[in-house]
Amino acid sequence: MSATASKPVYNRKNPCIARLARAYDLTGAGAPKHTRHYEFSLQGSGMEYLPGDSLAVLPQNDPDLVDDLLQVLGADGSEMVPGNDKAPKPLREALITDYAITQPGKKFLRAFAEKAGPESELAGLMEPGREKDLESYLWGQELIDLLMAAPSVKFELEELVGTLQKLVVRLYSISSSLRARPDQVDLTVATVRYDSHGRSRKGVASTWLAERIDESTEIPCFISPGKGFRMPEPEEETPIIMCGPGTGIAPFRAFLQERRATSAKGKAWLFFGETHSEHCYFYKDEFESYLADGTLDRIDTAFSRDQETKLYVQHRMLEAADQLFDWLEQGAIFYVCGDASRMAVDVDRALHKIVERAGGKTEEQAADYIQAMKDAKRYRRDVY
Ligand SMILES: Cc1cc2nc3c(=O)[nH]c(=O)nc-3n(C[C@H](O)[C@H](O)[C@H](O)COP(=O)(O)OP(=O)(O)OC[C@H]3O[C@@H](n4cnc5c(N)ncnc54)[C@H](O)[C@@H]3O)c2cc1C
Ligand SMILES: NC(=O)c1ccc[n+]([C@@H]2O[C@H](COP(=O)([O-])OP(=O)(O)OC[C@H]3O[C@@H](n4cnc5c(N)ncnc54)[C@H](OP(=O)(O)O)[C@@H]3O)[C@@H](O)[C@H]2O)c1
């Protein structure tokens, strides 16, 4: 039998059970957000990962929200309903562990609109061509809001459960290296909390991790491979430039731990951004130790709310345009991780500007240069 054949295979159907070993806040008191560091023990599981991989975590719903939902449904939770695997289980348990009960899915919306009747607002919004209107109507509304707003809409419990989607895993970029932290996997997670329609909302997985797990909780998880998001081999001279504002820092902490553990040769440059240097400089001491021992050659930080005007990672990149272009000319790989909707778009724009300005290229030539970087897999993105 080959060595790999005996390795355990973990996936959605057969998850690894990890346990919390340690967790602490990365954001200080007074920060405008709540981001936490988690360390999970993989002891005895044999689960392995590489820097650049993500951890898929299967969360549980908030029991308080489930109880509110049961009240709206007029149920006590002991009623038996089919679980995810069709086997009967008590409704309360099924709503906590098996089904998505926050953002309403299509099947639920269709059933709800049918019951509410053709004159209802939702039925109108479900007409073809009104997808954008439906999206803005639903923004910030959860299943419970729709049910509370229309008490005349009644579901049989089994029927309701039949319209719900499965509770699915959430992915988190792994922020540790197995070489540096054997039998351990670390995550860097922003807790999602917001208010809408007069209720406090909680992101399912991020608040499960932040509020309701302890050392005894079973954390079902498996590895989602990072595919193209990989480091050069340690003996390669290839420089790396890592741009990771916010939780986007996660895979780069893994990269740096791995670089130290393997005495990686190429140069490394990190861009990190958050709101305030005082209470949001994640892993500051660790990164400074990497600078001190040469694991990291340069770190540029952008704290967006430390001054009047916003300062972002792409502004720091533009300030260092000449050096950054030099690194690209030396064959550097450019990595970016974090917010897809705004940050990664602006960082991409900045990269084009840098190649234009520092490289003396036209807009078109810069676009070709960056396309060539992508083709050579020297521009790698892990954005969400
Ligand atoms: C490859 C990959 C890697 C990732 N790595 C990380 C990571 O390292 N760290 C990290 O923190 N996250 C990471 N994420 C994001 C993570 O997977 C989850 O999406 C995130 O934690 C939210 O999950 P949740 O279950 O807490 O929230 P959910 O229950 O999924 O709720 C999020 C939803 O709430 C709604 N919502 C959110 N804010 C508002 C608002 N203000 N108003 C109205 N509605 C709102 C939106 O519909 C949003 O989709 C990654 C994602 C991917 C795909
Ligand atoms: N639903 C929520 O409550 C919530 C909250 C936070 C994040 N998120 C999402 O979660 C993901 C990760 O968030 P995060 O906490 O890791 O950090 P983040 O929100 O991406 O913020 C990290 C840093 O990036 C800055 N930033 C904002 N816009 C930027 C831009 N266009 N270009 C460059 N930098 C920019 C932020 O500044 P400023 O904030 O000062 O502008 C902050 O300093 C993102 O997808 C984000 O959209 C959701």
- Segment 137-150 shows an average pLDDT of 95
Residue 26 to residue 159: CA distance in whole angstroms: 43
pLDDT of residue 3: 46
Q: Is residue 380 pLDDT above 90, yes or no?
A: yes
Residue 320 to residue 61: CA distance in whole angstroms: 45
Report pTM: 0.96
Residues linked to residue 201 through DSSP beta bridges, in sequence order: 194
Architecture of domain 63-163: Up-down Bundle (1.20)
What are the start and end residues of each CATH 3.40.50.80 domain in the chain?
Answer: 240-383
Tens digits of residue pLDDT in 167-178: 999 999 999 999
- CB of 55 sitting under 6 A from ligand 2: no
Compute the distance from residue 383 Cα to the ligand 1 centre, in Å. Answer: 12
Confidence of residue 34 (pLDDT cuts 50, 70, 90): very high
Q: What b/e sequence results for 158-194 when a residue is b if at least 16 CB atoms lie within 10 Å of its CB, and e otherwise? A: eebbebbeebebbebbbbbbbebbeebbbbbbbbbee
- Segment 189-211 shows an average pLDDT of 97
CATH no. of 240-383: 3.40.50.80
- Segment 212-233 shows an average pLDDT of 96
For residue 212, which of 97, 108, 305 has the smallest C-alpha distance?
A: 97
Nearest ligand atom owner, CA of 342: 2
Tens digits of residue pLDDT in 355-366: 999 999 999 999
CA dist 231 → 97, 268, 272, 335, 381 (Å): 36, 11, 18, 10, 12
Mutate to test the pocket of ligand 2, among 343, 348, 349, 384 (most ligand atoms within 8 A of CB): 343
Residue 335 to residue 230: CA distance in whole angstroms: 9
- Segment 202-223 shows an average pLDDT of 98
Confidence of residue 8 (pLDDT cuts 50, 70, 90): confident
Tens digits of residue pLDDT in 253-273: 999 999 999 999 999 999 999
pLDDT of residue 5: 57
Q: Is residue 4 pLDDT above 60, yes or no?
A: no
Residue 12 to residue 276: CA distance in whole angstroms: 38
Tens digits of residue pLDDT in 58-84: 999 999 999 999 999 999 999 999 999
Q: Is residue 353 pLDDT above 50, yes or no?
A: yes
Tens digits of residue pLDDT in 70-120: 999 999 999 999 999 999 999 999 999 999 999 999 999 999 999 999 999
CATH no. of 4-59+172-223: 2.40.30.10
pLDDT of residue 7: 78
What are the start and end residues of each CATH 2.40.30.10 domain in the chain?
Answer: 4-59+172-223
Tens digits of residue pLDDT in 134-143: 999 999 999 9
Residue 227 to residue 266: CA distance in whole angstroms: 21
> How many CB atoms sit inside 10 A of residue 6's CB?
8
Residue 345 to residue 326: CA distance in whole angstroms: 22
Number of helical H runs and strand E runs in the chain: 15, 15
Residue 376 to residue 217: CA distance in whole angstroms: 43
Contacts 24+ apart (CB under 8 A), 338-342: 338/244, 338/245, 338/246, 338/247, 338/248, 338/249, 338/383, 338/384, 339/245, 339/246, 339/248, 339/383, 339/384, 340/383, 340/384
- CB of 171 sitting under 6 A from ligand 2: no
- Segment 222-236 shows an average pLDDT of 95
Tokens standing for residue 193 = 């909390």
Q: Which residues line ligand 1 (CB under 6 A)?
A: 54, 102-103, 139-140, 170-173, 188-190, 192, 194, 196, 203-206, 247, 250, 382, 384
